[in-house]
């Protein structure tokens, strides 16, 4: 009997739950990836770095599957690629291949769950089974519960239980290679579409030298390993190499979360604090997937309903200044330029710009969340929504609304020598360190000395932080402090 493995956000062929189960249970196993027009055509522009990343990773996966089959001495391997709606493509292909079952790794987003239900129904109507497996997360929604058997909404106790449950079994790799001789030869005439076939144009992905596919992920991991020990301290400084940059690979599954967790857990067990902190970040990732699963209303509403009574401002000028990296606050602007130019933004900066949008500019977190969704390479509904609601103080275990980031103090603390700011705001290169975090504080003679024309070369601040802070305290005041 044969089966079809449908790959989605799991673009690798090692340590892969659905692929392993299919190869173990079936004689012939086909693999397919669908460029889903419900996503590509409905939600994205024609020039999207993520589509190019996926396309390159899909091509790499095709080669990896062939190589995997060849190593096992089988004639098979290779990826079937389709372009259309998921329901049509998967049902048609499953029928034409005559498979008994379609297997996939589980998705947790409401839209993906609805899509999977439609596919499962379509397959069932043809007598074909659909099954899904845990792969994307370490511990799922039902696996980390409190003593009453309920999901957590506060991270620290969640993490405690998460760490207790995260044993060697949970991080053990799926030995796909053991059964790789069951990989089937794709039907004759199959060919991978080009980016242009999909209706997309190239982005600056190649210039960014962002490594793609599972080999790219392993390269980034190797780069990061020597830095893991220092992660606890270094991770907050965007100007230094302190973080892994693996998020885009976790997003598209070109790396296995189990591989990362087992590496970190081993070093953490030997007392490496950096590894302990990094493992906590992987716990945050699971935490937000779990929140999204149990509380799908967060997609459009505040986690805490009372926070939807906060009156946000429309403020089109502020909004445009934030989007265009022209707020007059250098750390905020440099962060937004990093996002616009590379599709990545450092975690500390995501917190700073999200706080700035919601607490300084008084703009609804949902607008910032959507902007990130358009621009982040690693955009992930669960983590992005969690991050925005945390920063806006509307989420579970969010920062209290009366604690408001000061964008200048954040800049002085986390980019003390201005290395990051100067990288993305070359127009401020000549500004002395002590003024770099807030050039608007310079006196006319100081401005003249460094040749900066405020309001021309670099914008004046769109708001005064102290007054904006007062307005935010008023805006949230009706909620009281007792949370």
Catalytic residues: 281, 284, 312, 347, 365, 388
Nearest residue to 212 (alpha-carbon basis) of 37, 408, 390, 54: 54
From 21, 106, 182, 235, residue interacting with ligand FAD (rule: CB under 6 A): 235
Binding of residue 391 to ligand FAD (CB under 6 A): yes
Binding of residue 321 to ligand FAD (CB under 6 A): no
For the bound state, the minimum distance from the C-beta of residue 20 to ligand FAD, rounded and expressed in Å, comes to 22
208 beta partners: none
Tokens encoding 473: 């305290």
Binding of residue 244 to ligand FAD (CB under 6 A): yes
Q: Is 63 or 223 the residue whose CB approaches ligand FAD more closely?
A: 223
Q: Supply φ then ψ for residue 374, to 5 degrees.
A: -75, -30
C-alpha 229 chain-centroid distance: 23
Distances (CA, A) of 175 to 22, 64, 78, 130, 187: 12, 15, 18, 22, 26
Spatial distance between the Cα atoms of 358 and 392, rounded to a whole number of angstroms: 6
Q: Is 3 or 298 the residue whose CB approaches ligand FAD more closely?
A: 298
Binding of residue 243 to ligand FAD (CB under 6 A): yes
The interface region with ligand FAD, picked from 23-31, 173-181, 246-254, 315-323 by CB under 6 A, is: 246-254
Specify binding-site residues for FAD: 231, 278, 281-288, 378-380
Spatial distance between the Cα atoms of 227 and 479, rounded to a whole number of angstroms: 42
Binding of residue 284 to ligand FAD (CB under 6 A): yes
- Residues 6+ away with beta carbon under 8 Å from 172: 258, 262
For the bound state, the minimum distance from the C-beta of residue 287 to ligand FAD, rounded and expressed in Å, comes to 7
Q: Is 140 or 177 the residue whose CB approaches ligand FAD more closely?
A: 140
Position of minimal CB gap to ligand FAD: 387
Spatial distance between the Cα atoms of 454 and 440, rounded to a whole number of angstroms: 7
Bridge-based pairing state of the strands 28-36 and 2-7: parallel
Q: Is 26 or 318 the residue whose CB approaches ligand FAD more closely?
A: 318
Q: Is 7 or 349 the residue whose CB approaches ligand FAD more closely?
A: 349
Nearest residue to 396 (alpha-carbon basis) of 111, 168, 192, 158: 158
Binding of residue 250 to ligand FAD (CB under 6 A): yes
Can you give the length of the chain in residues?
483
For the bound state, the minimum distance from the C-beta of residue 254 to ligand FAD, rounded and expressed in Å, comes to 12
Query: Is 157 in contact with 148 (CB distance < 8 Å)?
Result: no
From 354, 404, 436, 463, residue interacting with ligand FAD (rule: CB under 6 A): 354
Binding of residue 285 to ligand FAD (CB under 6 A): yes
Query: Is 227 in contact with 242 (CB distance < 8 Å)?
Result: yes
Binding of residue 57 to ligand FAD (CB under 6 A): no
For the bound state, the minimum distance from the C-beta of residue 257 to ligand FAD, rounded and expressed in Å, comes to 8
Beta strand extents in 111-267 (DSSP E only): 129-133
Specify binding-site residues: 231, 278, 281-288, 378-380
The interface region with ligand FAD, picked from 33-41, 373-381, 424-432, 435-443 by CB under 6 A, is: 373-381
Binding of residue 357 to ligand FAD (CB under 6 A): no
Identify the DSSP state of 151.
Answer: B
Binding of residue 350 to ligand FAD (CB under 6 A): yes
Sign of torsion over alpha carbons 383, 384, 387, 390: negative
Helix axes 110-125, 86-97, angle to 10 degrees: 30
Binding of residue 335 to ligand FAD (CB under 6 A): no
Binding of residue 281 to ligand FAD (CB under 6 A): yes
Beta strand extents in 219-283 (DSSP E only): none
Residues within the interface to ligand FAD (CB under 6 A): 235, 243-247, 250-251, 281-282, 284-285, 288, 346-347, 350-351, 354, 372, 376, 378-380, 383-384, 386-388, 391
């Amino acid at each position: 009997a044969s089966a079809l493995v449908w790959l989605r956000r799991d673009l690798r062929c090692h340590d892969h739950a659905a692929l392993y189960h299919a190869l173990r249970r079936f004689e012939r196993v086909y693999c397919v990836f669908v460029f889903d027009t419900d996503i590509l055509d409905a939600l994205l522009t024609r020039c999207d770095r993520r589509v190019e990343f996926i396309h390159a990773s899909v091509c790499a996966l095709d080669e990896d599957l062939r190589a995997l089959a060849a190593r096992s001495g089988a004639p098979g391997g290779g990826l079937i690629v389709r372009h259309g709606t998921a329901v049509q493509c998967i049902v048609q292909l499953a029928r034409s291949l005559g498979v008994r079952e379609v297997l996939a790794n589980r998705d947790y987003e409401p839209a993906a769950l609805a899509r999977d239900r439609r596919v499962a129904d379509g397959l069932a109507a043809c007598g074909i089974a659909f099954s899904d497996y845990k792969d994307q997360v370490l511990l799922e929604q039902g696996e980390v519960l409190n003593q009453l058997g309920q999901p957590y909404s506060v991270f620290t106790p969640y993490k405690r239980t998460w760490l207790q449950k995260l044993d060697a079994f949970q991080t053990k790799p799926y030995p796909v290679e053991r059964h790789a001789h069951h990989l089937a030869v794709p039907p004759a005439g199959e060919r991978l579409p080009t980016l242009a076939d999909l209706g997309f144009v190239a982005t600056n992905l190649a210039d960014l030298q962002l490594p793609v596919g599972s080999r790219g992920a392993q390269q980034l991991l190797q780069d990061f390993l020597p830095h893991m020990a220092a992660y606890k301290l270094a991770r907050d400084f965007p100007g230094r190499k302190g973080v892994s940059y693996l998020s885009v690979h976790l997003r598209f599954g070109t790396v296995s979360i189990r591989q990362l967790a087992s590496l970190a857990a081993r070093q953490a067990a030997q007392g490496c604090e950096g590894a302990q902190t990094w493992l906590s970040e992987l716990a945050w990732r699971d935490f937000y997937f779990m929140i999204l699963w149990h509380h799908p209303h967060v997609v459009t509403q505040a986690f805490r309903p009372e926070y939807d009574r906060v009156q946000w401002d429309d403020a089109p000028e502020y909004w445009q200044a934030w989007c265009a990296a022209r707020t007059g606050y250098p750390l905020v602007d440099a962060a937004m330029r990093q996002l616009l130019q590379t599709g990545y933004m450092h975690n500390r900066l995501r917190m700073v710009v999200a706080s700035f949008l919601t607490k300084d500019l008084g703009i609804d977190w949902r607008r910032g969340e959507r902007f990130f969704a358009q621009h982040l390479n690693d955009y992930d509904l669960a983590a992005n929504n969690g991050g925005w609601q945390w920063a806006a103080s509307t989420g579970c275990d969010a920062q209290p609304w009366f604690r408001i980031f000061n964008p200048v103090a954040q800049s002085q603390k986390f980019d003390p020598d201005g290395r990051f700011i100067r990288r993305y705001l070359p127009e401020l290169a000549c500004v002395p360190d002590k003024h770099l975090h807030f050039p608007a504080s310079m006196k006319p003679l100081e401005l003249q000395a460094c040749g900066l024309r405020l309001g021309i070369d670099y914008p004046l601040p769109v708001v005064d932080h102290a007054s904006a802070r007062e307005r935010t305290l008023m805006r949230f005041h009706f909620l009281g402090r007792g949370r």
